[in-house]
Structure 1
Amino acid sequence: MLTGKRTWLFETSPVIISTGVIGGPFEQKGAIPEDFDAFYEDQWCGEDSYEKAQKVLFENACETSMQKAGMTKDDIQFVLAGDLLNQITSTSFACRKINIPYFGLFSACATSMEGLALAAFILNSNGANTVMTGSASHYGAVEKTFRYPNDYGAQKPPTSQRTATAAGAAILSKTGAGPAVTSATIGKVVDEGLKDPFNMGGAMAPAAVDTIEAHLQDRNLSPDYYDLIVTGDLARIGRNIALELFEKKGLTVRENQFLDCGVLLYKKDQKVMAGASGSGCSAAVTYGHLLNKMNRGELNRILVVATGALLSPLTFQQQESIPCIAHAVSIEMQGGIPS
């Protein structure tokens, strides 16, 4: 199953049989509202704190994915998930209600694809028959954790990004028709010395390029093998830096082939600075927008490369630079397009 230095090739190609994608009110006004299953009318999601609201987002995404698959929690062996809050508490508290054996994960905004890679690994290794994975983020909760509370009213620079209030969950099975997880390349921690928490795209771009280059080398592929290579979430600044790094490395990645979840989520006239961020952004865009395109026959092969900045409020206060990581998962249509 190991091919090259850090890529898993999944012989059984576990299938994504169902997804659940939930958003907040700002996301409902975004560029892809038709790719969400449901929205909350306000940021509180019926709760009395933003942290509890993030928990509810993930609970709803998981419950929606089970309902769409016609499953209950007893049909699923494991859930692999995480988020950006301290000690991934919102995910852990959500899994208290979901009540499925649970692996808690943290790779910051790269958690969505870390979970998908590990879920496919477990299924490919006969460790389970059905696994759930996903992630969530919340604008009010995450912004005050890593930057300033929104109520403070601090002016944000053009390089900053808006944390998405969104959650995405997926159920994988050994069998079925539709989008299949065919391989995964595990990222290395890359730190280019950036310290600005308002420039996550610039910090994470080198990690994304490193993982994409390793994936193509390990699988002996050209970038054109994929219809799309999609990062999440470099946003506009980081995406442009990544394109420059591809050119320096001699990788021919076409600009119209290289997209980013942080650019796809919102409309251009929404005030989001460089774009969206948050582990819920890549989860929602992948499990909603991108997989819907695959199921409609508009895409056949995609490589999703979720990127994460592995900082914390403590490391920022201690003036540490920002270590980053990116995990890549290839998703391909196999067995026909489901009705």
Structure 2
Amino acid sequence: MERYRFKNDGLATDTSMSQEECESGCSLFFFPLLELPLHQQLQLQQLSFINTDLEPLLMREKHLWMPVDHGSSTGFFTLWIYWTHLPEEETARVIGTLKPFWNNDHEGGFGGGPKQLGHTATNYASCLTLALLGTSEAWEAVDRQKLYRFFLARKYATSGAFTAHDGGEADVRVTYCVISIASLHTRVVLVVNQRTKLTVDTHSVPLQHSTFSKQLIRFATYLSLLHWLANRQMPFEGGYQGRTNKLVDGCYSFWQGAVPALLAQVVRQRYGDEVPYQCHQENLQRYILLCGQEITGGLRDKPGKPRDHYHSCYCLSGLSVAQHGDGRGEPVVYGDVSNLMKPTHPAYNIGYDKAMKTIEYFKTKGPFQPE
């Protein structure tokens, strides 16, 4: 693996030194397990980090029971719910919790809690949570007419960009939140396009967060995008960086890693053509399992960073996408065979079954017509 380490060509910079430090931290987790002393091998097995064949394990039970510390994040309570395992017997309680989060005082949208301003991120989390519940009562908790009006209120007529909330910022993250939820609730996005001449012009939007993978709706130049994405997967670490000259981050296992799978599917479905699936599946899984897992549960950005629910969600989602790829052929599983996860939808980040059931439910209601 040494040949894949970063080379600064004799010119050290803050960026190059940070990259070298990051690689050094990851290299500790890439140490050949067979070369470890026996007592250390046994200790890692007892901690459920590896199996008896010294293969990495996905520590499912530890991740499920990772402690929750909401801290001061009450404004994003819907995201906590979205990231949480939702037992079937709690369905009615979850719906009852989310319904009051819809903001009727201003321009609509689910807020982060009762009486809070509607926000595209918390609206995104709320709608996905209801889709995960997968019952007619959950689906009906989303009023498509109000959802449509909320989206229109967020849109800039001149640029086609969307704001996060009333008076909020506009960037491609917001556009993703709008388009993904609109398309999940079938036909809403079509009307948004027709009535508002929706365009996604990223040059007219300040790219405060220039993470290109969140432009999941823009497929103008497939091969250029694939080339860009392939170069975001770090050759030494195996995980993805968010943009050039940045460090690897576990959350991009999904935000970047989902795009090659999504591209391959979209091009195949729309045009009948094939584009190569550009992701080293085993290397990405290796990074998540070895560098991303906290030994006591939860997943993280990178070694040396604390675990949190955001990274736990998107590391695990990225692991699923890395295993199932573009959905063609058998899954690729790194480490123990029990690491295999259910496939997550690369556009919505919920299970394929939940996404398709939600789409089919709203299809049965007929074409959406705004009032």
TM-score, structure 2 as length reference: 0.26
State the structure with more CA Rg: 2
Higher helix share: 2
TM-score, normalised relative to structure 1: 0.28
Task: For CA contacts below 8 A with separation 6 or more, give which structure has more relative contact order.
Answer: 1
- Which protein is richer in strand relative to its size? 1
